Structure 1
């Protein structure tokens, strides 16, 4: 488990480095195309996650989670839906309880669902979907499902990988959205994503669920 925690910590550090390096680039894009730049600014940490995942894959040499990208089965599609809808239901159920136990929750990204942005600005639909589904969600999931999950495999059984992997995913969000409320909620999302990946062994499942949540609901 120490290796998985170390990779999560490296992901956090790389994400902060990504903010420093990528922000000026995204600012340049925003100067040329405001809507696309604003969209990109919601996903400024994901390149750092992708870098750590790529370094791990290069170091391992015999393992590449991208080989687990497949067309989802019927069960995979069901897990995608469960990840998106299940997490939103959890957010709605847990959020009103947080103040009662002295916790709060704040989003770390845009609070407008992306489908609303696309509806108002159809010219950004194609690049926006590519950014979310093809670039940013795969970078994050390659690290937290493809890599961290793999590192946990020798030490833990199926349930342990799902729970610990989900908690590590939630712990990462402490540094970006902050607070124990964020840790709780994003850990729930991480567990759902990890469970879908564990059941299907298909990286497309958590990628689609992750980006699907970005698309349909507001940022967590």
Structure 2
């Protein structure tokens, strides 16, 4: 015989699932809002640096939204004093190293497969605007060290701690592993709809988001998506 608690349990699970997804969507939306605020606040500061060191200032100009992501992540970590994604920044295992390679390569293979089809449906895909590639470092070796620090130690961690560490954490209480990977990846892509512009950017970066979320879910190591993300910035803008 079913008890009252047995009957109520499925409804409770559904509510918990919607609560988790809602929290993740809210955090991702806060990231977008904070990114726009970051553009307004940080851009003048980077402009001052550009006056003193033109090349480094131009490099920083490509990463004016990430401080906003970092602020949201920091506020979440402060609010959730029982959880910090920073504990999940660890030396990658062999599987983690494999994921670091798979994430950008898988994304690039997908982009190259999809791009020729886009004009057939009235769409097109261009490079992710403004991201610095290794070619810039080859032409200006004097900014290699500060540039790599900015990409690998500051900006990519800010973005990945928010979208993998924080948003992923919000999904953990009520959604299984495949759901976390899918929803987290789609939220990452949705952010690009507003900040990169265009449905194509959203769709393609959702693929990157799913791959990065998959690597994080498998390894529980934030170093994996951080290095993969910054490494992709380095070799090919998306």
Q: How far apart, in 2, do the equivalents of 1:10 and 1:105 lie? A: 27
SS at 1:202's partner residue? coil
8 Å CA contact 1:83–1:193 kept in 2: the answer is yes
SS at 2:151's partner residue? helix
8 Å CA contact 1:173–1:186 kept in 2: the answer is yes
1:69 and 2:89 correspond: yes
1:79 and 2:91 correspond: no
1:101 to 91, 107, 121: 121
Deviation at residue 153 of structure 1 after TM alignment: 0.8
2:177 to 147, 158, 168: 158
User: What aligned pairs does 1:176-191 form with structure 2 within 5 A after superposition?
Assistant: 176-191=195-210
Q: How far apart, in 1, do the equivalents of 2:65 and 2:86 lie? A: 20
Deviation at residue 120 of structure 1 after TM alignment: 0.9
After the TM superposition, list the runs of 4 or more consecutive aligned residues in structure 1 that deviate by more than 6 angstroms. Answer: none
Q: How far apart, in 2, do the equivalents of 1:140 and 1:201 lie? A: 16
Q: Unpaired runs of 5+ in structure 1?
A: none
Q: How far apart, in 2, do the equivalents of 1:90 and 1:132 lie? A: 24
1:91 to 89, 105, 111: 111
Q: In structure 2, what is the equivalent of residue 195 of structure 1? A: 214
Q: How far apart, in 2, do the equivalents of 1:29 and 1:155 lie? A: 45
- TM, length-normalised to structure 1: 0.96
8 Å CA contact 1:103–1:179 kept in 2: the answer is no
- TM, length-normalised to structure 2: 0.89
Higher mean displacement: 194-203 or 28-37 = 28-37
Q: How far apart, in 2, do the equivalents of 1:134 and 1:89 lie? A: 26
Deviation at residue 92 of structure 1 after TM alignment: 1.1
Q: How far apart, in 1, do the equivalents of 2:125 and 2:30 lie? A: 24
Q: In structure 1, what is the equivalent of residue 193 of structure 2? A: 174
Over aligned residue pairs, what C-alpha RMSD do you find? 1.0
8 Å CA contact 1:56–1:147 kept in 2: the answer is yes
User: What aligned pairs does 1:121-136 form with structure 2 within 5 A after superposition?
Assistant: 121-136=140-155
8 Å CA contact 1:4–1:152 kept in 2: the answer is yes
The count of corresponding residues between Structure 1 and Structure 2 is 218
Higher mean displacement: 198-207 or 148-157 = 148-157
Q: Unpaired runs of 5+ in structure 2?
A: 1-20
